[in-house]
Structure 1
Amino acid sequence: MSLVDFARASAATPHGFAWLDTRGRPDPAHGVHTWITPRMTHVFALAHLRGEPDALPLVDHGVDALLGALHDDRHGGWYSAVTAAGEPVPGPKEAYAHAFVLLAGGSARMAGAREADALLAEAADVVEERFLDAGGRAVDAWDRSFTTAEAYRGANAAMHLVEAFLATGDVLGDPVWHDRALAIAHHLVHEVAAPRDHLMPEHFDADWTPLPDYNVDDPADPFRPYGVTPGHLLEWSRLLLHLDASLADPPPWLLADARALFDRAVSVAWAVDGADGFVYTVDWERRPVVRSRMHWVHAEALAAAAALQRRTGEAAYDGWRERFDTFCRRHLVDPVHGSWHHELDEHNRPATTTWDGKPDVYHAYQAQLLAERPLAPVLSVQLAG
């Protein structure tokens, strides 16, 4: 079963795309998460552009949900989630989810989905107005009415804004979005991570002072884990190379830091505890903290190695790509129920400590496409062209 075929069942709810269990069945107990719906809208847009049958109606379904039940008509922006019945779930307005709404708007536009232009325009306005501060850095979360911003800043949300900004710049042909992506990357990678031997802090206060002990008592949090997240080093490595390929005059630090981030992730997290695979997190002394292997980390490792090989022509990166691909096929691909196991334990057995079910296919589907295609423009523009 293909990843796209596995994911089709997520459209069973009228309010967006549902969280899927290990067998690919919608799990109503999770409601409908805003971060999942645009990610799946993006995937189905890419699938349509690749010629997958009956994918465009699924793109329309996602756009309709993002302009419907998941949208806050009173205050603007998007709820974090709604119940299975379509009622808003209490929670903040998150830059992380809004980054994916912006990404989905661009992909849906390239796929020719109805109302995609409206979604892209509103997402761009909300992100620009609410989730970028005066210095061009990411604001992580607001209360529902956009009255008070959380006194927390995070590298994860900022990273996905970089991804969304690259796509928006390519879709709209507007280099201001690339410049915004470069500014965020320069701050977090070149100014914050590089002087720390590319061990990037994930958590900051409102002034962007690192909080190294954040969530030390909850180290396996799925979105804000304690310590260094090697998977994000790999994801940043790839994004820097997309930036490098997108800019007319890219600064040389983009390639240098992309190499360094990849090398650091491999050195501190790959097969460091007796078995192949990347551990989820390490502490500031480079010791494993959470030894689970997350599927998204290995998808990003595959894409990052392929991107570095394409940019440099060096065979060593192709060797890493083959190693990661073998790991994914051997341990993560589920030949019985489909999709990828979202989490493995330290012995590479399926686990559910942090993730239950198989919520979406975004990382696995996109990584396989990225591993085979040029670094720029973004996938939706390439496939539409």
Structure 2
Amino acid sequence: MINSPSNANRGRLLATLRVQYPDALAERGFRLLHPVSGDPYTDHRRHLVATCRSIANFAIGAVADGPDWCLDAAEHGLAFLRQAHRTDDGDGYHLVVGKDGEPLNRTRSAYGHAFVLLAFARATAADIDGAEDDLVATHELLEDRFRDGAGMVRSDCAPDWTEQEEYRGQNANMHACEAYLAAYEATGETRYLDRARHIAYTITIALARETDGLLWEHYTDDWDHDFGYNEDEPRHQFRPPGYQPGHHVEWAKFLALLDRYDEGTDAGENDEYVPDGGWYARALELFETAVDNGWTGTGFVYTHEKYGRPIVSDQYGWALAEAIGASAALAERAAEYGDLHTVDHLQELNHRFLACTDSYRGPAGLWYEKRLLANDGGDLIAPDPPGVEPDYHPVSAFYECWRSAHDPQPDD
């Protein structure tokens, strides 16, 4: 187990939420706060991902037995998600809306809808009325509208549900896996776990065979690797070329959770979605690969080439946060298997990562989007509106640290 006391991690979780509350709450929905001043941005656009991440954040606070305002804030966000982002016919969610709920971007985002599922899953875990009904409906929406012939999440669609490009993305599928894991945690229903396991196996085992175990980001609609995708946009916010250490540690966390939850199911050595050595071995491999290829001592490079040469050396706060959560989840698994040497190693890295968090927080206590290397100016960069990161990654990291040391098994 992680040496930091469980209540210290819970304290970090609730302190991160307290910086957001109540200033992030608008009359309707949530506002992005600036990491320097703590003031809301003057841009009033509301992004679906940010709305859902904020709901998930505050619902996690309620699950961790936080103050009553955690539940109030989650319910406040759910009202906006249902009334503003959701289409009038209930068949999908608008990607960007105005403060009064008017649609500004009607894209049916695969990435965004994964976070809709996550928001309702976390709200279900917090026992919010009606959340489980919406969780079921969103699962059915994903099945009907986004699931492709390979059982994976397809790409972004227009309002009439025609695909906007012949593309498949690792990132949207990774967050769908996260959402299905959260749905399983909230309900104990194995259909959600099965979805998570299928996506995880496809991305981290089957497709990774072609890249020597590394995780590529971009694919054609037939799930062939598209190695030239966005090669002229190395700093693309969501779809950069190259390998992302941050996504390797994020996947390591999710595979550690799959290993944890497979203990309570019928999954065994002959299960088609359990890799050789189990999820734990693959999770640890991904984690160590990310540290070897991407860790600089102060953060993780954004992207690198196959053999570790950096493409973009910007260090994003979300990647550091995911490494914190991954090291905690893996340490819990290592302890479960009596692998004490690995427990010590992961604890040491967990503390090293935690020691870096102050350098990513602004004066207002909110996290910057990224840090530039010293030879690039060493600047700290705040997110551009409409932002999608209301400190969701730090909240998720501290939540994982807390529950990995506290009570890692979901309620059945």
**Is the TM value for this pair above 0.5?**
yes
Give unpaired runs (5+ residues) of structure 2. 1-13, 269-273, 336-341
- Whole-Å Cα distance in 2 between the matches of residues 355 and 283 of structure 1? 27
Equivalent pairs, count = 376
Question: Quick check: 1:362 aligned with 2:373?
Answer: no
- Whole-Å Cα distance in 1 between the matches of residues 319 and 236 of structure 2? 15
- Whole-Å Cα distance in 1 between the matches of residues 222 and 406 of structure 2? 33
Alpha-carbon shift at residue 101 of structure 1 (Å): 0.9
Query: What is the DSSP-based 3-state SS (H/G/I as helix, E as strand, rest coil) of the residue aligned with 1:142?
Result: coil
- Deviations for 1:255-297, whole angstroms, at most 9, x for unmatched residues? 22111111111111111xxx63211111234211111111100
Query: What is the DSSP-based 3-state SS (H/G/I as helix, E as strand, rest coil) of the residue aligned with 1:114?
Result: coil
The answer as to whether partners of 1:234 and 1:304 remain within 8 angstroms in 2 is yes
The correspondence for 2:213, drawn from 194, 198, 203, is 198
Query: What is the DSSP-based 3-state SS (H/G/I as helix, E as strand, rest coil) of the residue aligned with 1:140?
Result: coil
- Whole-Å Cα distance in 1 between the matches of residues 388 and 33 of structure 2? 5
- Whole-Å Cα distance in 1 between the matches of residues 219 and 70 of structure 2? 40
Matched residue type, 2:181? L
- Deviations for 1:344-385, whole angstroms, at most 9, x for unmatched residues? 111394432875778401100110120132399879x56xx9
Query: What is the DSSP-based 3-state SS (H/G/I as helix, E as strand, rest coil) of the residue aligned with 2:404?
Result: coil
Query: Pairwise mapping of residues 182-221 of structure 1 onto structure 2 (< 5 A)?
Result: 182-221=197-236
Match of 2:318 in 1: 296
- Deviations for 1:59-87, whole angstroms, at most 9, x for unmatched residues? 11111111111111236111111023421
The correspondence for 1:254, drawn from 257, 279, 292, is 279
Matched residue type, 1:7? Q
- Whole-Å Cα distance in 1 between the matches of residues 177 and 26 of structure 2? 31
Structure 1 pair 122–25 and aligned structure 2 pair: CA distance change class (3 A): farther
Matched residue type, 2:135? L
- Whole-Å Cα distance in 1 between the matches of residues 77 and 55 of structure 2? 5
Matched residue type, 1:270? W
- Whole-Å Cα distance in 2 between the matches of residues 27 and 216 of structure 1? 32
Alpha-carbon shift at residue 300 of structure 1 (Å): 0.5
Question: Quick check: 1:287 aligned with 2:309?
Answer: yes
Query: What is the DSSP-based 3-state SS (H/G/I as helix, E as strand, rest coil) of the residue aligned with 1:292?
Result: strand
Structure 1 pair 152–213 and aligned structure 2 pair: CA distance change class (3 A): same
Alpha-carbon shift at residue 126 of structure 1 (Å): 0.9
Question: Quick check: 1:229 aligned with 2:256?
Answer: no
| TM value normalised by structure 2 | 0.85
The answer as to whether partners of 2:253 and 2:330 remain within 8 angstroms in 1 is yes
Alpha-carbon shift at residue 30 of structure 1 (Å): 5.5
The correspondence for 1:170, drawn from 171, 185, 207, is 185
Match of 1:152 in 2: 167
Give unpaired runs (5+ residues) of structure 1. none
Structure 1 pair 285–355 and aligned structure 2 pair: CA distance change class (3 A): farther
- Whole-Å Cα distance in 2 between the matches of residues 85 and 27 of structure 1? 16
The correspondence for 1:324, drawn from 353, 360, 385, is 353
Match of 1:265 in 2: 290
| TM value normalised by structure 1 | 0.90
Structure number with greater CO (CA < 8 Å, separation at least 6) is: 2
- Whole-Å Cα distance in 1 between the matches of residues 408 and 134 of structure 2? 19
Match of 1:344 in 2: 371
- Deviations for 1:214-248, whole angstroms, at most 9, x for unmatched residues? 11111111111111111000000110010111122
Percent sequence identity over aligned pairs = 31
Q: What's the RMSD between the two structures over aligned residues? A: 2.4
The answer as to whether partners of 1:296 and 1:364 remain within 8 angstroms in 2 is yes
Structure 1 pair 81–377 and aligned structure 2 pair: CA distance change class (3 A): farther
Alpha-carbon shift at residue 13 of structure 1 (Å): 4.3
Structure 1 pair 197–277 and aligned structure 2 pair: CA distance change class (3 A): same
Question: Quick check: 1:373 aligned with 2:403?
Answer: yes
Matched residue type, 1:293? Q
Query: Pairwise mapping of residues 47-66 of structure 1 onto structure 2 (< 5 A)?
Result: 47-49=61-63, 50-66=65-81
Range moving further from structure 2, 227-236 or 72-81: 72-81
Query: What is the DSSP-based 3-state SS (H/G/I as helix, E as strand, rest coil) of the residue aligned with 2:138?
Result: helix
- Whole-Å Cα distance in 1 between the matches of residues 291 and 285 of structure 2? 10
Match of 1:139 in 2: 154
- Whole-Å Cα distance in 1 between the matches of residues 198 and 406 of structure 2? 19
Structure 1 pair 354–27 and aligned structure 2 pair: CA distance change class (3 A): closer
- Whole-Å Cα distance in 1 between the matches of residues 60 and 190 of structure 2? 23
